[in-house]
Structure 1
Amino acid sequence: MSTPFPSALNSSAEQSGNKPNAEEVIDLRQYIKVINKYKWRIVLLAFTVAALAAVVALNITPQYRATATLLIEADQAKAVSFEEIYGLDSNRKEYYLTQFEILKSRNIAQAVVQKLNLKNHQDFLSEPSFVDDIKALKDSIPFIPKKEVVQLSADEQAAFELQELVNAFSERLTISPVRKTQLVNITYESSDPKMAALVANTVGEVYIEQNMNAKMGLTQKAAGWLTTRLSDLRVRLDASEGKLQAYRERENLVDVEGVLGLVSQELEQTSGQLVVTRNEMNKLQSIVRVIDEYGRDDIDRLESITEITSHPVIQNVKQTLIAVEQKVSELGQEYGPKHPMMIAANAELATVKQNLTEQVKRLVTGVEKELNSSKRNVTALEAELVRIRAQYQQLTAKEFEYRKLSREVDTNRKIYDTFFSRSKETEVTSDFNAAVARFTDRAFTPNIPAKPNKPLIVMLAFVAAIGLGIVMAFLVEALNDTFKSAMDIENKLSMRMLGLLPLVSLAKNSLFDVHHFYQEQGRSFAESVRTLRTSFVLTQLDKQAQVLAVTSSVPGEGKSTVATNLAFALGQLDKTILVDADMRKPSIGKRFGIEPYHPGLSNFIAGTATLEECIYHDETSGISVMPCGFLPPNPLELLASARFNQVLEQLKANFDRVLFDTAPLQAVSDSLVIARQVDTVIYVVKSDDTRIGVVKACLGRLVASNARIGGVVLNQVDTKKMDKHDYYHGYYSEYSYGDVQEASSKEITSSNVKPLKSA
């Protein structure tokens, strides 16, 4: 019973409900296996790259680094403090960042380049390179378009070269501030250790010198500017003082503030008097309105007015009236009305009443007069207040103008005094400037190059090459969709693995000996073939396997070699015939040295030769060989004819084992015709060569033609590349069959297989 093709297996598994696992488990052993497979290539690549890196590192010019350390002064020593002129605040963080950038500037770099004349130093002399040679060759070819070159004058060319030199110099210079300090490191890299130290120190010196020169120039410029401004300010001050004095004389001003104070006090007093007088007038007007309402003759009602009643004169008269009325009342109790004392008392009472009436009238008249007087006083005070207010406003306007002119004079005087003071300070300190920085450590000549670190380069190249080799190994392994082990056959094809045959090393331009199976150097190979035979026999114990066909996917997989050696192994147990059924490119006859004109299978099918005439007996192996015979123009029709079935029956009647070497499946369909008529098919796959997709397609064609597939043989396996866990159980590189093993194998096979009819 043949093993079904994977598609059939998958469909049957789905129908039965057995689903494959959705998740794939990462097997680290597979990765280790890949690395182990390519380990020597990876190591060779690593050592090769490391050797090349060592050669390159040895040819690299060593570079030396020298470092000088500067201290950027925050509080610089000054003869007199006048930082405002410079506009710098050295306590700010931006100040230090600015100084660091100045150290990196092209101005400093250009000054150092020119001072040390680095144009002719070896670090900046460009040597001809391969790229320059390519450019020169390109320019020499006439038909290649040339880039238009801009012609520069001598000065422009010199400036361009200087800028290029400054760029190269800046690439070698490193300015690195020390964090949280006022220190900055100046590092220069050169192939000359003395030059490295000299440049690092010169950069600091040029920076200090340029800063001092800049300050000196700024001081001198500030002094000139102050002198010019001072004369202008003197003129402005004199003009403002003249305006103030002229205003005083024009307005006759002596003490503006004193006069304004007196007028202000007078205005305040007059306003108070006006308020009091108005209150009195209002009060008198109220009394007059009441008098007019009561009537001037109604003395009794007038007496009821509070202002009149409370008057002292009225109160005295009333007291007198009360006393007289009491006296009249007392006398009236003692005397009669005509008594002289009563008459005198009544006359006195009449006189007092008459006096009260006159006093009330007089008081009313006095109130009116007093009201008129209050009105005149109010009018006079209002006029005075208007006059005082006008005077106050005039004085205020004069004071405003006076203060304005005074402020202008004071401002001009302060500005003049400030500029005069700064001018004198600048004049005194113009020849003194403290350095913006100082060296804490000067650069010294280094003894050991900073780069290249040759051991590190070689080590990194070695490690990188190993990593690259591993990646390439995984990439090659991922892209290689061929069969490399028995596990690949079983997992990727779901087919029975019958055995594997090792790759036989041959000398250059030599051919594989057809009888290598019987030679001493072929004992390992012969053992693999016998293992294949044993595996095939044991798997076909309960099946009819007298006639078998050997085929492959494409030419060159070694199917003819497998068929020949399997025939040798089966010939040791049974009567076997090897038939060359590849009528396209036959090779069996040539392998055994049979003459090309010897009749074979095609002659036997056509009936132009008998069985005995078509058979060649190999003396070494003892098997019978039927070559292809003449090459027919229509091999497919010949194999599909009824005559081929008769030939097959005759071969089965005369031999225990009939082995057909057929054409590759992908090339022609001859093998499919034969596969349908034989008992089983052995499929040969070349290790690490045949594509998986090709094998699946060919096996699918066999399954579609109802052929019985006995198993797969993995041929030409390079056992040196295989991991020990990949060795198929039937291959042992250190052992081979001896006589006892051979007899034992025959004994086992004879006891399990029924003897077939022999010729």
Structure 2
Amino acid sequence: MKEQLQARFFDEVAIDFGHYWAVIKRNLFYVVVFALVMSGVAVWAAKQLTPMYLSTVSILVESKAASPVSVEEIYGFDASKKEYMKTQFEILRSRKIAEKTVRRMELHNNPIFMPESSTPSLMSQVRGWVSEVTGGAETPSARLSEEEINNAKVKATAAKLLSSVAIVLVKDTQIMELSVSSPSAELSSQIANTMADVYVENYFQEKVEMTTKATNFLTESISGLRTKLDKAEQKLSSFYEENQVVNIDGVTGLAGDRLSQLNSQLMTAQHELEANRAIYERTRQQVDRETMYSLPAILNHPAIQRTRDEELKAVRKVSELEKTYGPKHPVMVAAQAELIAIRGALESQVDELLSSIGTQYQSALERVSKLQTEVQVAEENYRRLTGLETTRSALQREVSVNQQLYDSFFSRLQETSEIMDFESSNARILDVAEVPAFPSKPNKPLIVIATFIASFGLGVVVALGLDMSNSTVRTPEDVERKLGQRMLGILPLIKGNKLALRTYFDGSNHQFSESIRTLRSSLSLLNIERQNKCIIVTSTLPQEGKSTVATNLAFALGQIEETLIIDADLRRPSIAKLFGLPKYQPGLSNLIMATHSLDECVVKDEESGLHVISAGTVPDHAQELLDSEAFANCIKALKSKYKYVVLDSAPSQSVADSLVASKVCDSVIYVVKAHDTSENLVSNGISRFLRIGSRVDGVVLNQVNVKKYSKYDSYAGYYDEYEYGKS
């Protein structure tokens, strides 16, 4: 059982393309009919559509148009940027271009482009625009002027024109293709060419307007700049007159040099003053003459040094003469007199030098004071000149800036004025729109073919969807694919009244008879190596044909061996009624309860030779009887007497009688009514038998529409379609 469940799981996971193909073939007729019907509808609808003609004009957009001066720079528009082509694309499909085209061609009054049938929608748009303009809902008293109505028509027509226009930027080029679709071939080409002309002219008009605005702007700016320049020049001139300076840069330079020289002289004089002050203050101190002689200023004086040298010579001479002459010797007297004279001269020189030191100190002091005064005056003069230079520089800069601005704007004004007489455009028409010979849409053959393909595909999807949503068991393929069980046989659907008991022997229903024989052969071949004496026949629900299968299988087995059929459905027995037995006829329940003997319970059908045991007296405890040892002994005894024992049991979904009875049987045949019972119920019913260990030989599919499925599926071996089994 585990292997069977696993096999069913993997079969469900795998995609069975063969099954889907069989479903498509089975429903192919209906799918084709549906597709043909929808194609016919598409043919009718295509004939109702208005043919539309498409005309295309090519426009070459130049990123740099011929121009003597780039006026766009005034407004910050750069045609060299890569966004330029996108900008032109948006301009071409703008409402402004569309409205200009509508007004030029009067498309709002053209009956072809704006037919009378579109009047209600146009008026509704007019009312909407009026409501927007008035800021509220339209009132009954509202009255529209002719101009307002005309403008509303133009706007509505422009909106329709934009919906009929397709613009394409040709990749890696500066070419735009403008395509217009309309009901008229001539009108399509006229609209395309006119719209292209409007776009080209619009650039020139915009450029002229831009130039005019630029000229006005430059003129106003130049007037203001001229006034500012005159004022700046007047200020500079007044500055020169008031300060009486011509070359203020040179004067300031000289003043700076003079101040630098005076500062240098002042520093030198201050150093000399400091030196003289030190000598002067030392000479004023109370010191002896010898100490005075040792002062550097006196000691290092050239005259003092010469006199001192003479004094040293005189002293040396006196010292040498003392060794030879006496004090009073004329030579000695003369030498002494010379020494005295030299020392006297030295003192005189020292006194004069001391007197000159005081004079030099006073002179140095006066010089420093004078230089300080001159430096102060020079600094004040330099600061004044520097201030004047700063003021003059500011005034000069103001004049220069205003002059540059004035010159620049004046030059641009002259250049802009020249553009007024220079006509140029950034675009030109490369290929004009030709009158199309054939409509571009609707493509009627394509519509019909597409409708057929789509309808066919939809039909296939619906067929597959219905097949997937149908959970019943319909074909032998479903038995193997959905239930994972062996297909023992199929019984064809026989229309008309209820199937007669002896239909198996009726030569007019040879297909049914052959199906029963096929079931018998399948069962015999399946159990060729084992004895299969006791066979129980059951189903999931009532009215699936289990009693029919059990009875006719018993007829078929009875043709080759002695066979007994038992009505094991003790709750709703049917065998006795089928064979015309009386209700009081003892049967299985009486045999189990030992109220009657076997001979009393067995009835032989004289026409077929089949032995029959009915249900007998209907008990209150049917399941207990079937689960009893007496029932098992009874079946055992019957198996020893008959070659085949066929039990017609109760449906497995309703009660568990068939499960209990299957324990003493050799095999189970499960009957399923085609297109009726859910696969889940059938699977659950079969699984219950497998779980208790009963042997399920396979499934018999009952009431199959053989004629319907024989065109698409192979049923070889299940029935004789060509009457070769007919006797």
Taking structure 2 as the reference length, what is the TM-score of the superposition? 0.78
Superposed, 1:369-448 pairs within 5 Å as 369-448=359-438
Mapped contact 1:244–1:402 kept (Cα < 8 A):
yes
Task: Report the CA distance between 1:572 and its aligned residue.
Answer: 0.9
C-alpha offsets along residues 620-659 of structure 1, whole Å, 9 cap, x if unaligned?
Answer: x554678889xx9x67557977999799899889976554
Task: Report the CA distance between 1:552 and its aligned residue.
Answer: 0.9
Mapped contact 1:284–1:367 kept (Cα < 8 A):
yes
2:652 to 647, 661, 665: 665
> What residue is the counterpart of 1:356 in the other structure?
346
C-alpha offsets along residues 195-227 of structure 1, whole Å, 9 cap, x if unaligned?
Answer: 333222222211122222222223223333333
5+ residue gaps, structure 2, are 122-135
Instruction: Return the letter of the residue paired with 2:97.
Output: I
C-alpha offsets along residues 469-501 of structure 1, whole Å, 9 cap, x if unaligned?
Answer: 666566555544444666865787676x37111
> What residue is the counterpart of 2:701 in the other structure?
714
Q: Please give the alpha-carbon distance, in whole angstroms, between the structure 2 residues aligned to 1:608 and 1:118.
A: 107
Task: Report the CA distance between 1:370 and its aligned residue.
Answer: 1.4
Task: Report the CA distance between 1:554 and its aligned residue.
Answer: 1.7
1:35 lines up with 2:27 in the alignment: no
Q: Please give the alpha-carbon distance, in whole angstroms, between the structure 1 residues aligned to 2:407 and 2:554.
A: 126
1:45 to 31, 34, 52: 31
Superposed, 1:551-562 pairs within 5 Å as 551-562=538-549
Mapped contact 1:639–1:673 kept (Cα < 8 A):
yes
> What residue is the counterpart of 1:172 in the other structure?
164
Say which is worse superposed, 226-235 or 605-614, in terms of deviation: 605-614
Mapped contact 1:50–1:458 kept (Cα < 8 A):
no
Task: Report the CA distance between 1:359 and its aligned residue.
Answer: 2.4
> What residue is the counterpart of 1:76 in the other structure?
65
1:87 lines up with 2:76 in the alignment: yes
Instruction: Return the letter of the residue paired with 1:391.
Output: N
> What residue is the counterpart of 2:100 in the other structure?
111
- Change in CA separation of 1:649 and 1:41 when aligned onto 2, cut-off 3 Å: closer
What number of residue pairs does the alignment pair up? 695
SS state of the match for residue 27, structure 2? helix
SS state of the match for residue 551, structure 1? strand
> What residue is the counterpart of 1:278 in the other structure?
270
1:196 lines up with 2:188 in the alignment: yes
Q: Please give the alpha-carbon distance, in whole angstroms, between the structure 2 residues aligned to 1:154 and 1:225.
A: 40
> What residue is the counterpart of 1:267 in the other structure?
259
Task: Report the CA distance between 1:336 and its aligned residue.
Answer: 4.5
Instruction: Return the letter of the residue paired with 1:211.
Output: Y
> What residue is the counterpart of 1:599 in the other structure?
582
Q: Please give the alpha-carbon distance, in whole angstroms, between the structure 2 residues aligned to 1:659 and 1:25.
A: 33
- Change in CA separation of 1:697 and 1:161 when aligned onto 2, cut-off 3 Å: farther
Instruction: Return the letter of the residue paired with 2:328.
Output: K
Q: Please give the alpha-carbon distance, in whole angstroms, between the structure 1 residues aligned to 2:320 and 2:9.
A: 146
Instruction: Return the letter of the residue paired with 1:231.
Output: S
- Change in CA separation of 1:308 and 1:618 when aligned onto 2, cut-off 3 Å: farther
Instruction: Return the letter of the residue paired with 1:356.
Output: L
Q: Please give the alpha-carbon distance, in whole angstroms, between the structure 2 residues aligned to 1:335 and 1:469.
A: 171
Instruction: Return the letter of the residue paired with 2:546.
Output: K
Mapped contact 2:511–2:721 kept (Cα < 8 A):
yes
- Change in CA separation of 1:387 and 1:522 when aligned onto 2, cut-off 3 Å: same
Task: Report the CA distance between 1:239 and its aligned residue.
Answer: 3.2
- Change in CA separation of 1:113 and 1:635 when aligned onto 2, cut-off 3 Å: farther
> What residue is the counterpart of 1:297 in the other structure?
288
Task: Report the CA distance between 1:421 and its aligned residue.
Answer: 3.6
Q: Please give the alpha-carbon distance, in whole angstroms, between the structure 2 residues aligned to 1:44 and 1:329.
A: 169
1:213 lines up with 2:205 in the alignment: yes
Task: Report the CA distance between 1:553 and its aligned residue.
Answer: 0.9
Identity of paired residues, percent?
34
Mapped contact 2:8–2:483 kept (Cα < 8 A):
no
1:313 lines up with 2:299 in the alignment: no
Task: Report the CA distance between 1:241 and its aligned residue.
Answer: 3.3
- Change in CA separation of 1:149 and 1:409 when aligned onto 2, cut-off 3 Å: closer
C-alpha offsets along residues 276-328 of structure 1, whole Å, 9 cap, x if unaligned?
Answer: 111221232344455567x65343564352x4444332333234334444554
Q: Please give the alpha-carbon distance, in whole angstroms, between the structure 2 residues aligned to 1:259 and 1:653.
A: 154
> What residue is the counterpart of 1:499 in the other structure?
488
SS state of the match for residue 93, structure 1? coil
1:181 lines up with 2:156 in the alignment: no
Mapped contact 2:42–2:447 kept (Cα < 8 A):
no
5+ residue gaps, structure 1, are 1-5, 14-18, 133-147, 743-759
C-alpha offsets along residues 238-278 of structure 1, whole Å, 9 cap, x if unaligned?
Answer: 33333333444334444433433332232222222111111
Q: Please give the alpha-carbon distance, in whole angstroms, between the structure 2 residues aligned to 1:438 and 1:717.
A: 77
Q: Please give the alpha-carbon distance, in whole angstroms, between the structure 1 residues aligned to 2:501 and 2:418.
A: 115
1:532 lines up with 2:519 in the alignment: yes
SS state of the match for residue 569, structure 1? helix
Please, what is the CA RMSD of the aligned residues?
4.9
> What residue is the counterpart of 1:339 in the other structure?
329
Mapped contact 1:601–1:628 kept (Cα < 8 A):
no
Q: Please give the alpha-carbon distance, in whole angstroms, between the structure 1 residues aligned to 2:623 and 2:80.
A: 105
Task: Report the CA distance between 1:684 and its aligned residue.
Answer: 0.8
SS state of the match for residue 582, structure 2? coil
Task: Report the CA distance between 1:570 and its aligned residue.
Answer: 1.0
Say which is worse superposed, 259-268 or 376-385, in terms of deviation: 259-268
- Change in CA separation of 1:653 and 1:316 when aligned onto 2, cut-off 3 Å: closer
Q: Please give the alpha-carbon distance, in whole angstroms, between the structure 1 residues aligned to 2:401 and 2:411.
A: 15
Superposed, 1:730-741 pairs within 5 Å as 731=718
2:670 to 669, 683, 700: 683
Mapped contact 2:511–2:719 kept (Cα < 8 A):
yes
Superposed, 1:125-144 pairs within 5 Å as 125=115
- Change in CA separation of 1:80 and 1:684 when aligned onto 2, cut-off 3 Å: closer
- Change in CA separation of 1:399 and 1:571 when aligned onto 2, cut-off 3 Å: same
> What residue is the counterpart of 2:42 in the other structure?
56
- Change in CA separation of 1:97 and 1:526 when aligned onto 2, cut-off 3 Å: same
> What residue is the counterpart of 1:67 in the other structure?
56
Instruction: Return the letter of the residue paired with 1:30.
Output: D
SS state of the match for residue 67, structure 1? strand
> What residue is the counterpart of 1:240 in the other structure?
232
- Change in CA separation of 1:666 and 1:319 when aligned onto 2, cut-off 3 Å: same
Task: Report the CA distance between 1:381 and its aligned residue.
Answer: 1.3
- Change in CA separation of 1:684 and 1:325 when aligned onto 2, cut-off 3 Å: same
Say which is worse superposed, 475-484 or 280-289, in terms of deviation: 475-484
SS state of the match for residue 677, structure 2? coil
Q: Please give the alpha-carbon distance, in whole angstroms, between the structure 2 residues aligned to 1:420 and 1:76.
A: 24
Q: Please give the alpha-carbon distance, in whole angstroms, between the structure 1 residues aligned to 2:442 and 2:102.
A: 25
- Change in CA separation of 1:95 and 1:536 when aligned onto 2, cut-off 3 Å: closer
Mapped contact 1:66–1:193 kept (Cα < 8 A):
yes
Q: Please give the alpha-carbon distance, in whole angstroms, between the structure 1 residues aligned to 2:184 and 2:572.
A: 74
SS state of the match for residue 226, structure 1? helix
Mapped contact 2:85–2:174 kept (Cα < 8 A):
yes
Q: Please give the alpha-carbon distance, in whole angstroms, between the structure 1 residues aligned to 2:9 and 2:542.
A: 38
Taking structure 1 as the reference length, what is the TM-score of the superposition? 0.75
Instruction: Return the letter of the residue paired with 2:89.
Output: F
Say which is worse superposed, 658-667 or 456-465, in terms of deviation: 456-465
Task: Report the CA distance between 1:456 and its aligned residue.
Answer: 5.4
- Change in CA separation of 1:652 and 1:276 when aligned onto 2, cut-off 3 Å: closer
> What residue is the counterpart of 1:99 in the other structure?
88
Task: Report the CA distance between 1:615 and its aligned residue.
Answer: 5.7
Q: Please give the alpha-carbon distance, in whole angstroms, between the structure 2 residues aligned to 1:528 and 1:250.
A: 138
